[in-house]
């Protein structure tokens, strides 16, 4: 749907729902929220709901950033120490790579 | 499951509506800027007026010409808008099949294909294939009629609930398996928490994009991915001959179901028309945004994607899938109906003497519909190309790809002419199958022989290249002159427009000029085409695909840069230098550096 053709109330509604949805361990939804509503929040001339949308976009951006840090930390730790951690890391592994000859 | 192509552009309007559409033409600058046909010279000179006044009808002739141009213009743009997603879908399937061996390994089959083509006798295999196809066709027919029954009884909740169930299965389960196989193929370690987290995010956002509201590109991307997944499942779980047979059978069924008066999809179309309903805007790939302003109240963008069983035990999934497939078709048909009721309504409304604003609104609805193509079409196109690529021969794969695009083009052309719902599968699949088999039977041994014999001719060809080049220089200069003249045609217009707009013309006349400007498009001299093709053809005559594709890419990059320069400098530019320079450079570096490198790599792999 074209976000520019939707009324401002609907935009605010969508933004709000996307923001709330992101709390269910869904940083991807927050990222989409930021990207999709960035124009409306920042670049468009001021309209009534812009402050609320801006608030949600900023909060979503902060949330996604936090999640990115968490995920990056965990992935790098795991990949680096997977072998050193022994058997419980193997239990945690979805794919264990095959060795090379 | 095939789908039909639904035409939703304004080119399909009845003649009476064209006037209004023309008046509204200047209103949607964004709509016009879709696609690749915008003139590079004049895009910056258009104002983005949101409320254009009505343009006076100066004379019938110019209106007719513009109508014609409009029809063609929308047709070409929409063809391109469909080419891109179809190509992307096929690309995903081909890349996966070539890199992940899981999808070419035949271990388990579905319960709907009980004949596994295990005997070595060809006629037995063909009988198996026919048997399997008939079973699948019967399942599909049953499911189609079931869906029509449900639709006629207005059991929308059942349909929607089932669509949500199937699409969630596809988005979660089959994407999970896909991810697992891809990671395994590339030997990348992954832990459960991360994997589940990724799948959770991917799946939920997919559900939101498909069934609720999300950015259009995201929705399109998910639809493409989901179609590619389905196609991969088909390629994996159907035995060899059955796949080909199923493609042919489905195309024929599509033809029958959509066009014959008793066909289920036709019945669905008519029912939806009677009810003036907009149902299942999902399950269709839509190239533009759908608006439901003033349209049917039912706004249920549900999408169902086919699930295919992974093992023989999931018979429910398969039936769900077939139901989905039929639903897909029906959804396409219904999407068509969305367009046609709109047309009818517009016709009646315009005779009601509505206000301008309301008529404008209707036309916004109509114009922004774009082309719709059913997901079943994506799936079966990708199955065809995927199957062709699983044999390992790039000639066949690319031949199939080109054939499908040509078929799609022809279908859209037919759509523009006949203006009713059309099945999108038959023409493309016929061309695709034909090209596929003729290429593998005729072209492949031919190119292999040529490649084997070329080892001794390389050096001679390189030296003769320069002689041909000097012979062609006179032609080149002539063609360049033609280009410059063609570009000059553009420049006078530009100048004329600049002076006219400062004359204080009426809005009507200015709009007319803008329409003239818009429709100029980009001009490229035929000499450019000829010499680009000479370059690529020469590169391909060495038999090395790397060089050919490198040249092709280089030429496109050069063309891109040239057009960029054109947009900046706004005067006639030679189109050859940049592209040919890049092309020659890439061609020779590839053949001198990359080719021995890949050959060594390939040779060493034999002993691993």
Under 8 Å between Cβ of B480 and B527? yes
Contacts of B333 (CB under 8 A, 6+ apart): B4, B6, B258, B265, B266, B268, B269, B272, B421
pLDDT one-digit tens code per residue, B176-192: 999 999 999 998 888 99
Instruction: Please tell me the predicted confidence (pLDDT) of residue B159.
Output: 86
Q: Considering the domain boundaries, does residue B319 fall inside one?
A: no
Same domain? For B548 and B439 the reply is no
CA angle B155, B157, B158 (to 5 degrees): 70
Under 8 Å between Cβ of B319 and B309? no
Q: Which residues of A touch B190 (CB under 8 A)?
A: 93-95
First to last CA, chain B: 44
Cα separation of B410 and A65, whole Å? 48
Which position has the higher pLDDT, B406 or B512? B406
- Best of B27, B189, B287, B290 to substitute, by most chain A Cβ atoms within 10 angstroms, is B189
Question: Who among A1, A74, A95 is closest to B189 (CB)?
Answer: A95
Q: Which residues of A touch B202 (CB under 8 A)?
A: 28
Task: Output the CA torsion B17→B20→B22→B27 (10° steps).
Answer: -130
Q: Which residue of B has its CA nearest to A83?
A: B189
pLDDT one-digit tens code per residue, B360-414: 554 444 445 567 777 888 899 999 999 888 887 888 899 999 999 999 988 888 8
Q: Please compute the mean of the pLDDT values over residues B274-278 and round it to a whole number.
A: 76
- Best of A1, A87, A90 to substitute, by most chain B Cβ atoms within 10 angstroms, is A1
Question: Who among A71, A92, A101 is closest to B192 (CB)?
Answer: A92
Instruction: Please tell me the predicted confidence (pLDDT) of residue A35.
Output: 92
The answer to whether residue B148 scores a pLDDT higher than 80 is yes
Would you call B205 and A25 a contact, using CB atoms and an 8 Å cutoff? Answer: no
Question: Pick the catalytic residue: B2, B306, B317, B377?
Answer: B377
Mean of the per-residue pLDDT values for chain B?
70
- A2 close to B (CB below 8 A): yes
Q: Which residues of B touch A31 (CB under 8 A)?
A: none
| Encoded tokens for B387 | 């199957």
Instruction: Please tell me the predicted confidence (pLDDT) of residue B353.
Output: 41
A95 vs chain B: nearest CA distance in angstroms? 5
Q: Considering the domain boundaries, does residue B239 fall inside one?
A: yes
pLDDT one-digit tens code per residue, A21-72: 999 999 999 999 999 999 888 887 888 888 889 999 999 999 999 999 999 9
Q: Which residues of A touch B214 (CB under 8 A)?
A: 1, 32, 36
Sequence-distant contacts of B565-568: CB under 8 A, at least 24 apart: B566/B40, B566/B41, B567/B40, B567/B41, B567/B43
- A84 close to B (CB below 8 A): no
Name the residue range of residue B552's domain: 543-607
Q: Please compute the mean of the pLDDT values over residues B4-13 and round it to a whole number.
A: 43
The alpha helices in B443-525, defined as continuous H runs, are: 444-453, 458-471, 473-501, 507-518
Domain parsing of chain A, residue ranges: 3-92
Q: Please compute the mean of the pLDDT values over residues B544-549 and round it to a whole number.
A: 81
Instruction: Please tell me the predicted confidence (pLDDT) of residue A75.
Output: 92
Same domain? For B445 and B547 the reply is no
pLDDT one-digit tens code per residue, B71-100: 554 467 777 888 889 999 999 999 998 888
3-state secondary structure B561-587: HHHHHHHHHCCCCCCHHHHHHHHHHHH
CB-side neighbour CA atoms (13 Å) of B598: 10
Question: Who among A21, A89, A97 is closest to B188 (CB)?
Answer: A97
Q: Considering the domain boundaries, does residue B46 fall inside one?
A: no
Q: Which residues of A touch B218 (CB under 8 A)?
A: 32
| Encoded tokens for B251 | 């195309």
Q: What percent of chain B shows pLDDT beyond 70?
A: 61
Largest Cα–Cα distance in chain B? Answer: 82
B127 vs chain A: nearest CA distance in angstroms? 41
Going by the DSSP 8-state scheme, the letter that residue A25 receives in this structure is T
**DSSP H or E run through A93:** strand A93-95
Q: What is the DSSP string of B47-114?
A: ---SSPPPPP---HHHHHHHHHHHHHHHHHHHHHHHHHHHHHHHHHHHHHHHH-GGGG------TT--
Find the length of chain A. Answer: 101
Q: Considering the domain boundaries, does residue B586 fall inside one?
A: yes
Q: Annotated catalytic, B254? A: yes
Q: Considering the domain boundaries, does residue B391 fall inside one?
A: yes
Choose among B306, B129, B324: nearest CA to B231: B306
Question: Who among A32, A82, A101 is closest to B189 (CB)?
Answer: A82
B-proximal residues of A, 23-82, CB under 8 Å: 24-29, 32, 35-36, 71, 74-75, 78-79, 82
Question: Who among B192, B195, B214 is closest to A32 (CB)?
Answer: B214
Under 8 Å between Cβ of A37 and A57? yes
Number of domains in chain B: 2
Q: Which residues of B touch A29 (CB under 8 A)?
A: 201, 204-205, 208
**DSSP H or E run through A87:** helix A87-92
Same domain? For B279 and B418 the reply is yes
Q: Considering the domain boundaries, does residue B32 fall inside one?
A: no
Per-residue CA distances from A50 to A10, B114, B377 (Å): 12, 60, 41
B200 vs chain A: nearest CA distance in angstroms? 8
Per-residue CA distances from A53 to A13, A21, B208, B310 (Å): 9, 15, 20, 44
Cα separation of B135 and B109, whole Å? 14
Instruction: Please tell me the predicted confidence (pLDDT) of residue B324.
Output: 53
At A90, phi and psi to the nearest 5?
-65, -40
Cα separation of B135 and B11, whole Å? 40
Supply the angle between the helices A27-38 and A50-81 in degrees, to the nearest 10: 140
Cα separation of B382 and B86, whole Å? 8
Instruction: Please tell me the predicted confidence (pLDDT) of residue B241.
Output: 83
Under 8 Å between Cβ of B303 and B283? yes
Q: Which residues of A touch B290 (CB under 8 A)?
A: 1
Under 8 Å between Cβ of B234 and B302? no
pLDDT one-digit tens code per residue, B30-68: 333 333 333 333 333 333 333 334 444 444 445 555 555
Q: Annotated catalytic, B377? A: yes
Cα separation of A75 and A78, whole Å? 5
């Amino acid at each position: 749907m074209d976000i520019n053709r939707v009324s401002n109330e609907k935009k605010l509604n969508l933004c709000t729902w996307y923001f709330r949805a992101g709390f269910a361990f869904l940083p991807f939804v927050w990222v989409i929220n930021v990207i999709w509503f960035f124009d409306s929040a920042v670049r468009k001339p001021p309209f009534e709901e812009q402050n609320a949308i801006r608030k949600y976009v900023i909060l979503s951006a902060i949330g996604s950033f936090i999640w990115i840090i968490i995920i990056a930390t965990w992935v790098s730790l795991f990949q680096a120490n997977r072998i050193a951690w022994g058997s419980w890391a193997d239990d945690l592994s979805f794919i264990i790579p095959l060795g090379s000859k | 499951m095939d789908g039909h192509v639904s035409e939703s552009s304004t080119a399909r309007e009845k003649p009476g509506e064209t006037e209004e559409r023309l008046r509204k033409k200047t209103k949607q600058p964004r709509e016009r800027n879709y696609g690749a046909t915008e003139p590079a010279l004049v895009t910056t000179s258009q104002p983005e007026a949101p409320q254009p006044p009505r343009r006076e009808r100066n004379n019938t002739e110019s209106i007719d010409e513009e109508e014609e141009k409009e029809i063609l213009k929308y047709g070409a743009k929409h063809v391109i808008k469909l080419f891109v997603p179809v190509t992307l879908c096929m690309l995903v399937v081909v890349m996966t099949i070539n890199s992940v061996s899981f999808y070419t390994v035949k271990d388990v089959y579905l319960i709907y294909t009980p004949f596994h083509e295990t005997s070595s006798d060809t006629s037995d295999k063909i009988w198996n294939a026919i048997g399997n196809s008939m079973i699948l066709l019967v399942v599909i027919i049953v499911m189609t009629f079931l869906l029509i029954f449900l639709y006629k009884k207005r059991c929308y909740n059942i349909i929607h609930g089932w669509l949500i169930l199937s699409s969630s299965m596809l988005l979660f389960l089959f994407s999970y398996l896909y991810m697992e196989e891809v990671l395994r193929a590339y030997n990348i370690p992954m832990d459960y928490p991360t994997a589940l987290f990724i799948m959770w995010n991917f799946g939920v956002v997919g559900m939101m994009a498909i069934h609720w509201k999300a950015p259009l590109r995201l929705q399109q991307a998910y639809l493409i991915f989901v179609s590619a997944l389905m196609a991969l499942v088909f390629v994996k779980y159907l035995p060899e001959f059955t796949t080909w047979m199923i493609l042919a059978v489905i195309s024929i069924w599509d033809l029958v179901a959509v066009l014959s008066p008793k066909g289920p999809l036709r019945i669905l179309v008519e029912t939806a028309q009677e009810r003036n309903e907009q149902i299942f805007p999902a399950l269709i790939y839509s190239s533009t945004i759908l608006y439901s302003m003033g349209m049917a109240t039912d706004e249920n963008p549900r999408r169902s994607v086919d699930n295919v069983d992974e093992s023989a035990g999931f018979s429910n999934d398969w039936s769900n899938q077939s139901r989905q497939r039929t639903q897909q078709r029906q959804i396409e048909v219904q999407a068509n109906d969305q367009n046609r009721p709109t047309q009818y309504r517009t016709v009646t409304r315009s005779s009601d003497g509505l206000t301008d604003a309301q008529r404008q609104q209707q036309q916004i609805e109509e114009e922004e519909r774009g082309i719709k193509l059913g997901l079943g079409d994506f799936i079966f196109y990708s199955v065809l190309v995927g199957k062709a690529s699983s044999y390992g021969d790039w000639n066949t794969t690319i031949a199939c790809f080109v054939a499908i695009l040509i078929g799609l083009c022809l279908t859209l052309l037919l759509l523009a002419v006949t203006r009713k719902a059309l099945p999108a599968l038959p023409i493309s699949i016929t061309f695709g199958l034909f090209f596929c088999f003729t290429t593998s039977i005729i072209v492949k041994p031919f190119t292999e022989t040529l490649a084997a014999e070329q080892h001794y001719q390389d050096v001679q060809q390189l030296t003769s290249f320069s002689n041909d080049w000097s012979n062609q220089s006179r032609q080149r200069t002539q063609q360049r002159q033609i280009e410059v003249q063609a570009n000059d045609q553009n420049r006078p217009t530009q100048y004329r427009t600049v002076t006219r707009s400062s004359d204080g013309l009426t809005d009507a006349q200015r709009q007319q000029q803008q329409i003239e400007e818009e429709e100029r498009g980009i001009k490229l001299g035929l000499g450019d085409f000829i010499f680009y093709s000479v370059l690529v053809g020469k590169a391909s005559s060495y038999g090395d695909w790397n060089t050919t594709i490198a040249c092709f890419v280089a030429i496109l990059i050069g063309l891109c840069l040239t057009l960029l320069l054109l947009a900046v400098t706004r005067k006639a530019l030679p189109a050859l230098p940049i592209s040919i320079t890049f092309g020659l450079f890439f061609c020779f570096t590839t053949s001198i550096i990359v080719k021995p490198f890949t050959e060594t790599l390939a040779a060493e792999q034999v002993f691993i």
